[in-house]
Structure 1
Amino acid sequence: MQTQLSFDNFYIEPIKIQDAWKLCDFIVANETRLKRYFPKTLEQNLTPDLSKLFVEKKTKQFKKKEEFLFTIKEKKTNHLVGLAYLKELDWNKKQGEFAYCTGYTFEGKKIMSKTIHLLANHAFNNLDIKTLQITVHKSNIASIKVAKNCNFTWVKTLKNEYTPIGEAPLDMELYELYNKTNIEQN
């Protein structure tokens, strides 16, 4: 995806090398918010040098279609307000999973719901994905709202699916969205 997707005062685009400093700033400013569910992203972006390496790796993965990392930015300021991953890609099953986060100052504004809606359409229409997933802990009400706002359906509880650093394993809730066009054609 080389073109931008946009809504309201925001735009979504693939991560690019020029984003390293903004990414580092975003991660450090939201460190407490990210440490439980994004520990790897956090540890790889604590300094500008680490962010540069991280972005280089993510742009290569994007080109190879191994994982897609998108930035969400304000149109007027180009301020980074959030991230959205399309990860755990299984090209045989035509399946992928979303993971996402926004900065403190942008929560509750439906930015992520609009982002995931646009990226889901992009995945179905341009990447030939048939099933999209969101895996979320039941206490993450905001993330559950994103899944529901985007018409994902709760499928099941995944026992001991995710272990945060220094914590016991957590059960996670699996939500899925299916490409109705592909399902109807099969």
Structure 2
Amino acid sequence: MFSFSNYNIEPIQLQDAWSICDFMIANEDRLKRYFPKTLEENLSPDLSKIFTEKKVKQFELKEELLFTIKEKEENKLIGLVYIKELDWTKKQGELAYCIGYEFEGKGITTNAIHILSDFAFENIELKTLQIIAHKSNIASIKVAENCNFIWIKTLKNEHTPPGESPLDMELYELYKEFE
């Protein structure tokens, strides 16, 4: 669907199940705090197959859009980007993203968020995009800032990682520009 440098961004497909399982297990330590549900739903090939089938159906119904980021050369899955919490009345959605540890800090996520923000505004006609990140997640905050999202406020007790107390999270927003 989209392409930049050596990477492709595509809607989730049924054949991604095995790759998603591999990606989640390889990055388990990175993902367990902020992506606990996605991780839990992909701890085995069988679970990933169920997860992928569900996400493909949600994509088709425009309930939640999950995209994969893949290296072009090897077609290796290196990251995921969700457009979730879609509110069609407010024309608002939230972006959530993760990238494999070996690809962090290379601008890949920033490029993907730029591309998918444009997609959300132009193709699915959202007016507001949100990113919610913990203040200690410097990489995620940099992505939001590099993509021109503006800090709005602190959301109290917004996210509860497994086995931890609820965390305050930072809300960033980007608005569709009207000509």
- Which category describes the TM-score, using the shorter chain as reference length? over 0.9
After TM superposition, the structure 1 = structure 2 runs for residues 85-100 of structure 1, keeping only pairs within 5 Å, are 85-100=82-97
How far the C-alpha of 1:132 sits from its partner, in A, is 0.1
1:30 aligned onto 2:27? yes
Q: Percent identity?
A: 70
TM-score, structure 1 normalization: 0.95
Instruction: Provide the residue aligned with 1:176 in structure 2.
Output: 173
Distance 1:135 1:105 in 2: 23
Give how far 1:24 is off.
0.5
SS at match of 2:155: strand
> May I ask how many residue pairs the two structures share in their alignment?
179
Cα distance per residue 1:90-138 (max 9 Å; x no partner): 0000000000000011000010000000000000000010000000000
Q: Distance in 2 between matches of 1:70 and 1:105?
A: 19
Q: Which consecutive segments of 4 or more residues in structure 1 shift more than 2 A?
A: none
Deviations along 1:56-88, one digit per CA (max 9) or x if unpaired, are 000000000000000000111100010000000
Quick one: which of 75, 78, 97 aligns to 2:75?
Answer: 78
CA distance in 1, matches of 2:52, 2:129: 24
Counterparts of 2:168 and 2:47 in 1: how far apart (Å)?
A: 31
Give, in whole Å, the separation in 1 of the partners of 2:160 and 2:24.
21
2:40 aligned partner: 43
Amino acid at match of 1:12: I
Provide TM-score, normalisation by structure 2. 0.99
2:14 is aligned, of 13, 17, 40, to 17
Write the distance in 2 (CA, Å) between the matches of 1:134 and 1:121. 15
Alignment partner, residue 134 of structure 1:
131
1:111 lines up with 2:114 in the alignment: no
Displacement of 1:165 in angstroms is 1.0
Amino acid at match of 2:173: E
- Partner secondary structure for residue 180 of structure 1: coil
Which runs of 5 or more structure 2 residues have no equivalent in the other structure?
none
SS in 1 for 2:10: strand
What is the RMSD computed on CA atoms of the aligned residues?
Answer: 0.6
Structure 1 unpaired stretches of 5+ = none
Cα distance between partner residues in 2 of 1:165 and 1:12 = 29
